[in-house]
Structure 1
Amino acid sequence: MEYIALFLIGIFATTVGTLAGGGGFISFPAMLILGMPVHSAIGANKVSNTISSFSSFLHLYKKKELSLKESFWIIPVSLGGGLSGGYIASKISGENMYIVAIILLIFAFITSFKGKGGFTGENPLKMNKFSIPGLYGIGIYDGLFGPGQGTLMFYLFSSLKISYIQAVGLVRLATFSSCFGAAVSYIATGKIIWPLTVCLLLGSLTGAQIGVRIAEKLKPQYVKPVLRIVTFILIVQIVLDHAL
């Protein structure tokens, strides 16, 4: 039953995450509710996101929605951030990590209400003093914890005035890069519970393909209100579950 639950969580969380970011808002709290240790839950997210995010990026790349030449520089920047964040997280105890996770989850939830989506598509993606530090900082956050990372990236790309469908692909590419770096750290430190992680991964692959196809027709503002409601409910559930 636990395996089926993780598969379904992976589908739902990754579908939502592909459309507007914040899939970790769903998968991470749900895994904690199922009883997974904090580090193992984060590690499972990183491993599954590494593969599922690359699959959705590849779909858009094959449809020529993205230029690899224009976006390739995102990989080392996000990878470096993910490695940095994963290393920092591996040095924090399970109990302290739980407290940090709750604080960051609430912070990311509040942050999701900020920013005004533009996605005008008037500018190409460029390396500059705003995009590089922004992506590296979000990569650290993703490696350290994760939920809200995709949403923050959407806000970053919106401010850079690229199109929404490009933003979807670039968020998935950046997520692949930072999650790959973080996943290496979690695997190396033995935090991964592989049977549970594989179930989440299979669900995430399915959700990635569903989400990227919906994204080609759907605007992000239709997804964000639902995401915020679900996030709020899950935050309350985790706090109550930990308090009881």
Structure 2
Amino acid sequence: MDFKLIFLCIAGFIGAFVDSVAGGGGLVTIPAYLLAGVPPHFTLGTNKFAATMGSFISTAGYARSSKVNFRLMRAAVPMTALGAVLGVYSVLRIPQDFLYPLVSVAILVVGLYTFFKKDLGKVNAFTVITKKKVIFVALVGFALGFYDGFFGPGTGSFLIFIFIRFLKFDFTNASGNAKLINFTSNFTSLIAFAINGKIDYLIGVPIALFMVLGSIVGTRLAIKNGSKFIKPIFLIMSFVVFFKLLYDMFLK
């Protein structure tokens, strides 16, 4: 195993760990691929391959601990897949530069609101499943699936915040349900990259193994320690996404 692959495997572990807890793992792995000299299209495709493996394990871990409400999410999964396909299709035709200021402001608001709302996400106050809630989650899945396929940064943060703010989940349950949506959009995008031959499996497979390990560790710690562990990482990743977007807008 050469130094480049060792570096990417370590970055994959850290990225998957962070992503399984609060989202934002791509902020670790994407720069690592580019720094290692992987071409941009193969960076996106290979990262999506490895990240999808880690995302699947993380989703399964939350599901085994009953932190994923499949009845609530039954319509969200296909709607997320549809949104992701349309997002990937659209990004090939529409420049995404106009999204930087909009998403920067949105992610900053999410981070500040979460920081100052001290009791946000501490208690799981989600009650009964209603038709309105199922429809709401399906629409959220479609919108964030489209966003993830089209642009991506902050998808996990937005999902967690929406589930806490509007469905009254705590951080642990919000992360579990958000991870199912994330996995769906990741898997859908992965198929598109695979069809177009943009995945380097020689490095993708070993990195995926380390991302699976990172996902296992992160998910177990999140489930064991709950909101007190997830919220600080969620806040950190929200502000990291914000500053990364600012950097891309003004300095890149």
CA contact (8 A) 1:150 1:175 kept: yes
Deviations 1:24-68 (A, max 9, x none): 122122222222222222222322222211211211222233342
- Does 2:142 correspond to 1:136? yes
Q: Once the 2 structures are TM-superposed, how far is the Cα of residue 177 of structure 1 from its aligned partner?
A: 0.7
Query: Which runs of no fewer than 5 residues in structure 2 stay unpaired?
Result: 115-119
Are the structure 2 counterparts of residues 109 and 194 from structure 1 closer, same or farther at C-alpha, using a change threshold of 3 Å? farther
Residue ranges of structure 1 left out of the alignment (5+ in a row)? none
Instruction: Report the equivalent of 2:195.
Output: 188
Change (3 A) 1:196 1:27: same
Q: Which residue number in structure 1 is paired with residue 43 of structure 2?
A: 41
| Count of residues in correspondence between the two structures | 234
Bigger CA drift: 143-152 or 205-214? Answer: 143-152
- Indicate the percent of aligned positions where both proteins have the same amino acid: 25
Give the 3-state SS of the residue equivalent to 1:64 in structure 2. coil
1:168 maps to: 175
Q: Distance in 2 between matches of 1:235 and 1:33?
A: 18
Deviation sequence 1:71-91 (CA, Å, 0-9, x none)? 2322112111222222334x3
Q: Quote how far apart the aligned CAs of 1:106 are.
A: 7.2
State the match for 1:223 in structure 2: 233
For the residue of structure 1 that corresponds to 2:134, the secondary structure is: coil
Distance, in Å, in 2 between the alignment partners of 1:113 and 1:237 is: 14
Match 1:122 to one of 125, 140, 143: 125
Rate the CA distance shift 1:112–1:232 in 2: closer, same or farther, 3 A.
closer
Scaled by the length of structure 1, the TM-score of the pair is 0.81
SS in 2 for 1:127: helix
Instruction: Return closer, same or farther for 1:103/1:212 CA change in 2, 3 Å cut-off.
Output: farther
What is the rounded CA distance, in whole Å, between the counterparts of 1:70 and 1:131 in structure 2?
A: 7
Residue of structure 1 aligned with 2:163, choices 157, 167, 176: 157
TM-score, normalization by structure 2: 0.79
Equivalent AA in structure 1 for residue 38 of structure 2:
M
- Match in the other structure for 1:52: 54
1:86–1:183: 8 Å Cα contact kept in structure 2? Answer: no
The amino acid of 1:123's aligned partner reads F
Measure how far apart 1:179 and its partner are: 0.8
Q: Alpha-carbon deviation of 1:229?
A: 6.5
Aligned to 1:212: 219
Once residues 204 and 179 of structure 1 are traced to their aligned partners in structure 2, the CA distance between those partners, rounded to angstroms, is 14
Off by >4 Å, runs of 4+ in structure 1: 102-110, 228-240
Shift in CA distance, 107/187, structure 1 to aligned 2, threshold 3 Å: farther
Q: Helix, strand or coil: the match of 1:54?
A: helix
Give deviations 1:155-207, integer Å, cap 9, x for gaps: 11122211221111111111111111111111111111222322331221111
Q: Is the 8 A contact 1:53 1:172 kept in 2?
A: yes
Alpha-carbon distance in structure 1 between the residues aligned to 2:101 and 2:6: 28
> Out of 26, 29, 41, which is 1:27 matched to?
29
